[in-house]
Amino acid sequence: MNEKSLSELLKTQKTQSPKLQVVSHVKGQVYDLEVKINQYVEAGQVLVSLGETDPIVFEAYVSKAVSTQLHEGQAVKFPQLNIMGEIAHIHSEVDEITQTIDVHIRVANPDRSIIKGQLNQIQFLNTKPVYQVSASALSQLGTDKIIFVDTDKGIESVLITVQSIVNDELFFTVQIFKLIELRVCL
């Protein structure tokens, strides 16, 4: 130890504290402690995993057909929580195993009532309504997907865009822009 360091040490009568406080730079939740008390650590080693919780981001996995109808900034409703969110990001790649696309939904969470890993139901709020009927109602005319509906004018074919087919239920949007009341003919 050189004389200057020794002189400063004698003035303060203190040695360097063995404790160093690590301060979080984000407001959020501790998800994982990577080290234990009294464990030696290396420079650059991860000590703790933190995540911001306001806003919190949900991940939804949707079919490719549904993802083509979504856009960033689109409103999303969480009926069970009675809150709204918005689409923050839509991944461009399809998961090879599940054949789904990852959609990130940002939700305000000022009271931190929503926690990491929480499962919720969502509704994407579209400008076009999404209808649901038995998949057996689907017909094809050339390359067009259609269903037949009973209107005031009688039975008419309606050009549709298939959103998805789940458990023999067809989810679709109507491609024509006139407002009609749909009564599906089976």
The answer to whether the predicted template modeling score (pTM) of the entire model surpasses 0.85 is no
Whether 178 shows a pLDDT value over 50: the answer reads no
Whether 110 shows a pLDDT value over 90: the answer reads no
Mean pLDDT for 20-46 is 83
Q: So what's the pLDDT on residue 185?
A: 42
Whether 18 shows a pLDDT value over 70: the answer reads no
Structure tokens at 170: 């067809």
Q: So what's the pLDDT on residue 104?
A: 92
Residue type, 48: V
Among residues 116, 51, 117, 108, the alpha carbon closest in space to that of 75 is found at 108
Mean pLDDT for 157-184 is 70
Res. 186 pLDDT band, cuts 50 70 90: very low
Predicted confidence (pLDDT) per residue in 114-161, tens digit: 877 778 888 888 656 778 888 898 998 888 888 888 878 888 888 888
Predicted confidence (pLDDT) per residue in 46-102, tens digit: 888 887 778 888 888 988 888 888 888 888 888 888 888 899 999 989 888 888 899
Mean pLDDT for 17-38 is 78
Whether 182 shows a pLDDT value over 50: the answer reads no
Q: So what's the pLDDT on residue 88?
A: 92
